[in-house]
A and B are shown apart, each in its own frame.
Chain A
Amino acid sequence: QVQLQESGPGLVKPSETLSLTCAVSGYSISSGYYWGWIRQPPEKGLEWIGSIYHSGTTYYNPSLKSRVTISVDTSKNQFSLKLSSVTAADTAVYYCARRPQTSSSWDYWGQGTLVTVSS
């Protein structure tokens, strides 16, 4: 059974960098698929942040591209998100998820982690 688990600080100060990691179990990242980050501000809808292929090729939401870095560590079977210069608008539940290579759907999701941006 494929499982994804987000981890990282739940509180980040304004202007600092948000860093999260998604640990994958039950499937080897090196075997394929796209791995991505999606966030959901409180009481709002879903917003795609970006995706990475196991080879390291990345795709970012144009609206966040200047602040986002997604990387993959196949030796640890995990991938990570860094979002710089955060503001209160970046407060959200952050989900990591898996997308089949030939599909635009996200078939496995982590439980999500709430990140609050506040001083």
Chain B
Amino acid sequence: QSVLTQPPSVSAAPGQKVTISCSGSSSNIGNNYVSWYQQLPGTAPKLLIYENNKRPSGIPDRFSGSKSGTSATLGISGLQTGDEADYYCGTWDSSLSAVVFGGGTKLTVL
């Protein structure tokens, strides 16, 4: 059981936009920055979004992040088949004194 809650799966057609939610509490998302990672099949996670809504160099602006209260959202627009992957949110939990991750969301581009 993950501390952060994500939907197990989402799907959308190529060219469409999809959002992935990440729900937590005041001890984690509510008072700490959220980051998002993309894990393509058989590869290591890759940082997509840090500090809620910032993109590292090289990440296209099709990927966006937002946070409101104790929830965060990853948005992916102009979906491509190459975006099919597992997506994870992560943050620090001040009560647990631990880095915590969501259970992951599998994105299928139909």
A59 at the interface (CB under 8 A from B): yes
B contact residues around A110 at 8 Å (CB): 44
User: Which of B9-17, B19-27, B84-92 forms contacts with chain A?
Assistant: B84-92
B99, A45: Cβ atoms closer than 8 Å = no
Chain B interface: which size bin?
A: 20 to 34
Contact with B along A76-118 (1 / 0, CB 8 A): 0000000000000000000100000001111101111000000
A107 to B101, CA, bound (A): 15
Give residues of chain A (47-80) contacting chain B, Cβ–Cβ below 8 Å.
47-48, 51, 59, 61-63
**Given A45-B2, A104-B33, residue A109 in contact with residue B50 (CB < 8 A):** no
B92–A106 CB distance below 8 A: no
- Of A59, A105, A111, the residue contacting B47 (CB under 8 A) is A105
Q: How far is the CA of A46 from the CA of B35 in the complex (A)?
A: 13
Q: Which residues of A contact B90 (CB under 8 A)?
A: 46, 104-106
Contact A61 B98 (CB under 8 A): yes
B66, CB-defined interface residue at 8 Å? no
Q: Which residues of A contact B91 (CB under 8 A)?
A: 104
